[in-house]
Amino acid sequence: MTDPIAGIKQFAEDAAAIIPHRFEIIIRLSDGTPIPPEALSEDHTVGLYADVMPRKMRESATGFRDVDLSDLLPQVSFETTATGARIEWFLECPGLRNVRFRTEKLQYLEEGWQAVTSEVKYPAATVLGLLHVMKRRYGAAHICLNTELPMPLWLRSAPLAQAADSVQAVIQARGEGRLLLTNIHTECPMEFARQFVPAVRGYYRKAVSQEP
């Protein structure tokens, strides 16, 4: 991409008009470490990228497959609130039910553990909104899913076998009422990531058996 920062910024502006997120362009971590450009939503549940995807996703690139929207199962969630109820639609991947995974596959950890989740799903409105923006901007939109790990859903303007000279988007997975967060920085030195280890311990349900 000729000007990745400009491309990411324009995509972020279009996305923010459709999905309930605002984006920050990041070219340095908070400690000053320079990284390839990215734009993350305020809660780090959505990421936008140009030429360089998050390192954790690159490390597990062989697990990603092209999928159709119809491969994902619609699922509705009801939540009681102080003023009534909130209804939210998700898109679930049935093939990842009860998936076991090593936490260091998703996070920068010097010592990880076996975790498990009974479901892996993605917020439908966010997925559909970003697919719409991508199709409108580039003429095509494709979904890529990691079929081995509860990683972010990856949206591209071309199938995996083809180069995508465009902005790409990722959407963090959910499951069992929690975010199944992957570190979605393009780069993140271990020295920087150590400060987040205490929080990471609450991200995933620990598997009863720690055997591989």
pTM for the model: 0.95
pLDDT score at 211: 74
> 45: closest CA among 3, 90, 81?
90
Q: How far apart are CA 50 and CA 52, in angstroms?
A: 6
> 151: closest CA among 112, 204, 109?
204
Q: Are 97 and 116 in contact (CB under 8 A)?
A: no
* pLDDT by residue, tens only, the chain of 212 residues: 789 999 999 999 999 999 999 999 999 999 999 999 999 999 999 999 999 999 999 999 999 999 999 999 999 988 777 787 788 999 999 999 999 999 999 999 999 999 999 999 999 999 999 999 999 999 999 999 999 999 999 999 999 999 989 999 999 999 999 999 999 999 999 999 999 999 998 999 999 888 76
Q: Which tokens hold the place of 69?
A: 């929207």
Give long-range contacts, CB 8 A cutoff, 24+ apart: 81-87.
Answer: none
pLDDT score at 54: 98
Instruction: Tell me if residue 88 falls in helix, strand or coil.
Output: strand
